[in-house]
Amino acid sequence: MQRLKIAVIAGSVGTSSMLCRQLEPLLGGYMQFLPYSVHDWTGTEEVDLVMISSHILFIKHSPFHVKNKTDILIIKRTLSKEGWGMIRQLSPGEKYLVVNDERDSVVESISLLYELGLRHVDLVPYYLGAPDNRNVTMAITPGEPQLVPEYVTHTIDIGARVVDLSTIVELLTRFHLLNSEMRGVLNAYAKTIATSNLGLQVTLQELVNGKNLFEETLNMVQDGVVTFDERGVIAFINDTAEDLLQSRRDASNLSIQQLLRYQGIDPQFLQGDVKDQLITIRDQTVIANATWIRGHSSVRVLILKIAKKVEELELKLRTQLRQNGHAAKFTFKDIVTESPVMKRIIGRARKMANNDFSILLLGENGTGKELFAHSIHQYSHRSKFPFIAFNCGALPENLLESELFGYEEGAFTGARRGGKPGLFEQAHKGTIFLDEIGDISPALQTRLLRVLQHKEILKVGGTRMLPVDVRVIAATHRDLPRMVKEVTFREDLYYRLKVLQIDILPLRERKEDIPALIRFFLERRGLPFDLSGPIMEAMLNYEWPGNIRELENTIEYLSIMGDETFEVEDLPFLTQRSANPLSKPEEEGVFRPDAVQAASPTFGNDGESLGENRLITVSAAGIDAERLLLELVLGANRTGRHTGRRNLAGMARERGLIMTENEIRKRMESLRAQGLVDIRLGRSGCMLTAEGFKRLQQL
Ligand SMILES: Nc1ncnc2c1ncn2[C@@H]1O[C@H](COP(=O)(O)OP(=O)(O)OP(=O)(O)O)[C@@H](O)[C@H]1O
């Protein structure tokens, strides 16, 4: 790094060299100090700054010549704490000569002593050529004991005057170097000098204390944080950002632009507000946000969130899309029901299929909303075009936005060449099914409303509107009217979506469907079982909080067990009406049978937690590993696949969750301890227990 060149000019090279020796240990990392005597200075020297040892010297040699209007800084000087300690307690009324080489420097020293508080003794100037004052036999000198006249019997050498704190602060500020490291150096220096700048010293101390607290806090944050000014000069960078950008402390005077460029990132992206931009830094996907700090028009903060999970999420999304395919699979004929109310609902849905209005499907999880969406699309004039089903609750907002609307090439660093079409674009002329619409953020609600109103989309990073012809079918298990009242869901979007609304009954309100559905699921699996008697009775009495999905999974479970006769005891949850022994009622995300019984007919007040096992839940903590493992064991038991750790790790990876075999071992042991799986020796590996199966319904 090129150091700044600073000329230090004093009456003699001795003095300027002494000042340079003081400055060098403090600022030598950034600056090189060159000593000059005022007589040697030509004014043509090429330097970044000129420092002059005193006001008087400056005035005496005015006009002072410098090249290219280089800035001049006049040094303010003070005593070392040690020197001040020698004189601050002198007896009042005593007389002292103040000795230096010239009259001016003596005057300066006397005013400094006075400023520091030495007001109780008489100070008499003495310099070369000054008249003798033989009745004063004591002297004070700032580092010039050889000049003290021989009639003085007692000399106090308070040492050469040192550079004051204010000058060093000034110097650092001019070159934007007042960073956290320098604040620490300054604070330590302040303790070694006697400064009259008490205010500055206290402020500095407070700043350092406050700063330390602030920096320590920011270093505990897992995101990278960098603050910088309008030119990009970094004021603060926390440990995470340093690691990420590989900047070292000694490089902290680099600009943010330089740091980004070193990582191959075009700093252009910092222009304007930066919101959830994806950038790649050393193979890591990072979500960048930058804003101005309020009240500081020139200070910006850049927050870098390391999205370790992003890749996993993308992988999951791809899997999800593959699983969903882009074609509707079901028609109204696939909806099994004996319930007159449901039959009426299907009739209405058929009518609704024939126009282009948006449809809102409301109902608890597992009631068949997606089945309805497929059927409506198949029955509509759009049936030859794509049907895209998408779960809005499965991705974080920024990914959701680019998945739905796509992005332009160069929208963010790492954006795919040629950009990427969004799902709306891919569904052109067809239908898009937006499941869990109640989970989208207010910002996305606004964007979606615009799409519905104007039938055109704006890609992320795009500038032109793209017309799309897509029918939207939205679904949620949430109580949207309540969310509208609580202002968490836009009212105008709600009304746009619910032009046509279908409320699908929970299974417990159409129990006549239970035998028909059981028959249907058994037949579909070619199972010859006859479920009647007490087990059928128990199934009819059970509340089915996970609705048809839970019923379907129960039949699936019975098919794994492989027997032809079943007892109610094989499915203990059927008879457990109150609190489930596996779950504490207050636990979040766990279904409470009593809560649903007491709730409104359409929505459980705990509806959010009702069974949903088709998609892996992505929470802030990531994919729910326990649930995924239970799903994988169930799947493996069904297909006869071995449930060894390696197999499970491979299958988990395919579903978007990366776990080591060791982690799987630990989690499986925990599942066994909870009675959810039964680990058997030998080839069969482990089996899901009835409790495990039940838990899967509830997760
Ligand atoms: N009436 C029905 N006849 C046959 N199968 C059904 C019926 N209702 C639902 N299913 C089956 O139950 C499972 C859950 O249904 P679906 O995924 O449509 O529910 P959902 O309400 O969309 O659930 P979620 O809100 O959790 O997304 C699916 O496998 C579906 O095929």
Q: Among the residues of 159-288, which ranges form H helices?
A: 165-174, 180-190, 198-220, 239-245, 256-262
Model confidence over 181-238: pLDDT tens digits?
A: 777 788 788 888 887 666 666 666 666 666 666 666 676 666 788 888 888 888 788 8
Residues 294 and 150 in one domain: no
Instruction: Tell me if 684 is assigned to some domain.
Output: yes
Residue nearest to atom 25 of ligand 1 (CA): 365
Q: Is the pLDDT of residue 612 over 60?
A: no
Report how far ligand 1's centroid is from the alpha carbon of 334 (Å).
11
How confident is the model at residue 595, as a pLDDT?
Answer: 28
* Contact indicator for 441, 397 with CB cutoff of 8 Å: yes
Residue nearest to atom 8 of ligand 1 (CA): 368
Query: The CATH number of the domain where 390 resides is what?
Result: 3.40.50.300
Q: How many CB atoms lie within 10 A of CB 158?
A: 21
Instruction: Tell me if 198 is assigned to some domain.
Output: no
Residues 31 and 104 in one domain: no
Residues 119 and 63 in one domain: no
* Contact indicator for 490, 526 with CB cutoff of 8 Å: no
Q: Is the pLDDT of residue 607 over 90?
A: no
- Edge-to-edge strand order for the sheet containing 387-391? 387-391, 431-435, 471-476, 359-362, 500-503
Report how far ligand 1's centroid is from the alpha carbon of 372 (Å).
8
Q: How many domains does the chain have?
A: 6
Decide which of 505, 527, 556 is a domain's last residue.
505
Q: Is the pLDDT of residue 597 over 50?
A: no
Cβ(548) – ligand 1 distance below 6 Å: yes
Q: Is the pLDDT of residue 675 over 60?
A: yes
Instruction: Tell me if 186 is assigned to some domain.
Output: no
Residues 454 and 314 in one domain: yes
Query: The CATH number of the domain where 538 resides is what?
Result: 1.10.8.60
Across 20-40, average pLDDT: 93
Query: The CATH number of the domain where 291 resides is what?
Result: 3.30.450.20
Cβ(611) – ligand 1 distance below 6 Å: no
- Spatial neighbors of 146 by CB under 8 A, at least 6 apart, are none
How confident is the model at residue 136, as a pLDDT?
Answer: 92
Instruction: Tell me if 348 is assigned to some domain.
Output: yes
Decide which of 477, 505, 533 is a domain's last residue.
505
What percent of the chain has pLDDT above 70?
Answer: 80
Higher pLDDT, 481 or 194: 481
Higher pLDDT, 74 or 557: 74
Token readout for 221 is 């944050």
The parent domain of residue 126 ranges over 79-163
Q: Is the pLDDT of residue 559 over 60?
A: yes
Higher pLDDT, 202 or 342: 342
Mean pLDDT of the chain: 80
Residue 203 identity (one-letter amino acid) = T
Residues 637 and 653 in one domain: yes
Report how far ligand 1's centroid is from the alpha carbon of 668 (Å).
29
Cβ(435) – ligand 1 distance below 6 Å: yes
Report how far ligand 1's centroid is from the alpha carbon of 335 (Å).
9
- Spatial neighbors of 574 by CB under 8 A, at least 6 apart, are 535, 538, 539, 541, 542, 568
Residues 253 and 385 in one domain: no
Decide which of 454, 486, 505 is a domain's last residue.
505
Model confidence over 496-536: pLDDT tens digits?
A: 998 899 999 999 999 999 999 999 988 887 777 777 788 88
Residues 473 and 383 in one domain: yes
How confident is the model at residue 207, as a pLDDT?
Answer: 65
Residue nearest to atom 12 of ligand 1 (CA): 549
Q: Is the pLDDT of residue 345 over 50?
A: yes
Q: Is the pLDDT of residue 614 over 70?
A: no
* Contact indicator for 166, 150 with CB cutoff of 8 Å: no
Q: Is the pLDDT of residue 310 over 60?
A: no
How confident is the model at residue 224, as a pLDDT?
Answer: 85
**Facing residues of 274 across strands?**
290
Q: Is the pLDDT of residue 601 over 50?
A: no
Q: Is the pLDDT of residue 316 over 60?
A: no
Model confidence over 88-121: pLDDT tens digits?
A: 888 888 999 999 988 888 998 999 999 888 888 9
Token readout for 148 is 């003290």
Instruction: Tell me if 180 is assigned to some domain.
Output: no
How confident is the model at residue 568, as a pLDDT?
Answer: 72
Q: Is the pLDDT of residue 326 over 70?
A: no
- When mean pLDDT is compared across 47-56, 233-242, 453-462, 582-591, the lowest value belongs to 582-591
Higher pLDDT, 489 or 666: 489
Closest CA to 440 of 485, 492, 400: 400
How confident is the model at residue 467, as a pLDDT?
Answer: 82
Model confidence over 565-594: pLDDT tens digits?
A: 677 776 767 765 433 322 333 333 322 222
- Mapped onto helix, strand or coil, the DSSP state of residue 383 is coil
State the burial class of residue 77 (Cβ atoms within 10 Å of its Cβ: 0-12, 13-18, 19+).
Answer: buried
Q: Distance between CA atoms of 594 and 619, rounded to whole angstroms?
A: 26
- Spatial neighbors of 508 by CB under 8 A, at least 6 apart, are 543, 544, 596
How confident is the model at residue 197, as a pLDDT?
Answer: 64
Is ipTM beyond 0.90?
A: yes
State the pLDDT confidence band at 599, using cuts at 50, 70 and 90: very low
Q: Is the pLDDT of residue 409 over 50?
A: yes
Closest CA to 531 of 511, 514, 509, 553: 514
Instruction: Tell me if 637 is assigned to some domain.
Output: yes
Q: Give the E-state strand segments of 22-117 in sequence order.
A: 31-37, 49-52, 72-74, 77-80, 95-99
How confident is the model at residue 591, as a pLDDT?
Answer: 27
State the pLDDT confidence band at 564, using cuts at 50, 70 and 90: low
Q: Distance between CA atoms of 70 and 43, rounded to whole angstroms?
A: 10
Instruction: Tell me if 53 is assigned to some domain.
Output: yes
**Most informative mutation of 324, 371, 477 for ligand 1 (most atoms within 8 A of CB):** 371
Residue nearest to atom 13 of ligand 1 (CA): 549
DSSP annotation of 338 reads -
Q: Can you tell me which residue has the tokens 């199972």? A: 527
Model confidence over 346-378: pLDDT tens digits?
A: 999 999 998 999 999 999 988 999 999 999 999
State the pLDDT confidence band at 75, using cuts at 50, 70 and 90: very high
Rounded alpha-carbon distances, angstroms, from residue 174 to 22, 75, 265, 298, 300: 19, 14, 29, 16, 19
State the pLDDT confidence band at 562, using cuts at 50, 70 and 90: low
**Most informative mutation of 341, 370, 524 for ligand 1 (most atoms within 8 A of CB):** 370
Closest CA to 696 of 531, 552, 539: 552
**Ligand 1 atom nearest to 548, measured from its CA:** 12
Residues 530 and 660 in one domain: no
How confident is the model at residue 415, as a pLDDT?
Answer: 59
